[in-house]
Amino acid sequence: MTVMFNRVTIIGVGLIGGSIARAMKKHQLCNDIVGYARRENEVKKAVALGVIDRYESSVAEAVNGADLVIVAVPMGAFESMFRQMIGAISPDTVITDVGSAKSSVVNAAKNVFGVLPPGLVPAHPIAGTEKSGVEASFDSLFENRCTIVTPTAVSSESAISVVSNFWRAIGAEVVSMTPEHHDLVLAATSHLPHVLAFSLVDTLSHMQEHSEIFRFAAGGFRDFTRIASSDPTMWRDICLNNKDAILTSLKKYEDQLKKLEEAIANQDGVTIEKIFNNAKNARDTHVIGG
């Protein structure tokens, strides 16, 4: 792979930011990878692990002279990160991010910059684990995974190609959609399941017999609840930043659950089996690989 960038800045060198940096190094895409995080220890660790080349202790210094800036902090910190870039970022710099909700990134940029920069192309890699921090990062995280690129109405064609080609260069398949459409789709496929998993485990933990419940938890329980071990702060921020779409999905789910509840209460085996059959067929058809 040929070098695509002289300098790339990663704001937030955790699981996702760290994995991007490692993948860029693996594919030799960049001469100089600069990192920033709130805690100096975290970026020092990232340098010691060879994930980034160096770090700066302010966002402004970190983005200075960068060809590409990638924001990879929890969603609640986006607006503050954009604010700290004012005056330090060149109009030619391409800015992207990895946030799990997209309309709120566009709104944060509008609030801070007034008008959206043509160099801003939000994106969301559909890849991750329930672990956090730079130690959990690895260079193949995005290989054969999808990244959704969500250009704004004013993103420039050249910035869209830079961001799309960058993701392809680290192994991802790139799909494009509007930020609003992304938020609806992801609310249903990712945000709702996380809310349900957190809520189920929370409910069980309040039951009197909870130690017995967890002791006898079998494979199905593990499969269903693995994602409840994800980072609570990150998921709080996702709920706060994709409120409307998550509430829409949650309402649809509550209505369906109510139907199932009624069928169980009425000993209505036909309806129960119909719902389970539909779910099994949908999963067997659409979810490939277990």
d(CA 133, CA 217): 28
- Return the H-helix or E-strand segment holding 165: helix 157-169
Q: Any contact of residue 75 with ligand NAP (CB under 6 A)?
A: yes
d(CA 96, CA 72): 9
Q: State which residue, 73 or 184, has the beta carbon closest to ligand NAP.
A: 73
CB of 96 to ligand NAP, least distance (A): 12
d(CA 28, CA 23): 8
Q: State which residue, 37 or 66, has the beta carbon closest to ligand NAP.
A: 37
Question: DSSP of 234-255, one letter per residue?
Answer: HHHHHHHHSHHHHHHHHHHHHH
Q: Which residue in 4, 16, 159, 246 binds ligand NAP (CB under 6 A)?
A: 16
CB of 100 to ligand NAP, least distance (A): 4
Q: Which stretch binds ligand NAP (CB under 6 A): 21-29, 35-43, 88-96, 153-161?
A: 35-43
Contact present, 132 and 142 (Cβ < 8 Å): no
Using CB under 6 A as the binding rule, the residues of this chain from 155 to 194 that contact ligand NAP are none
Residues 6+ apart with CB under 8 A from 110: 116
Strands (DSSP E) along the chain, which ranges?
5-11, 30-36, 54-55, 68-71, 94-97, 123-126, 146-149, 173-176
Q: Any contact of residue 239 with ligand NAP (CB under 6 A)?
A: no
Q: Which stretch binds ligand NAP (CB under 6 A): 96-104, 217-225, 261-269, 275-283?
A: 96-104
Q: Any contact of residue 98 with ligand NAP (CB under 6 A)?
A: yes
Q: Which residue in 30, 33, 72, 149 binds ligand NAP (CB under 6 A)?
A: 72
Using CB under 6 A as the binding rule, the residues of this chain from 109 to 138 that contact ligand NAP are 124-125, 128, 132-133
Contact present, 195 and 239 (Cβ < 8 Å): yes
Instruction: Summarize as ranges the residues that interact with ligand NAP (CB under 6 A).
Output: 12-17, 37-39, 42, 72-75, 77, 98-100, 124-125, 128, 132-133, 231, 234, 238
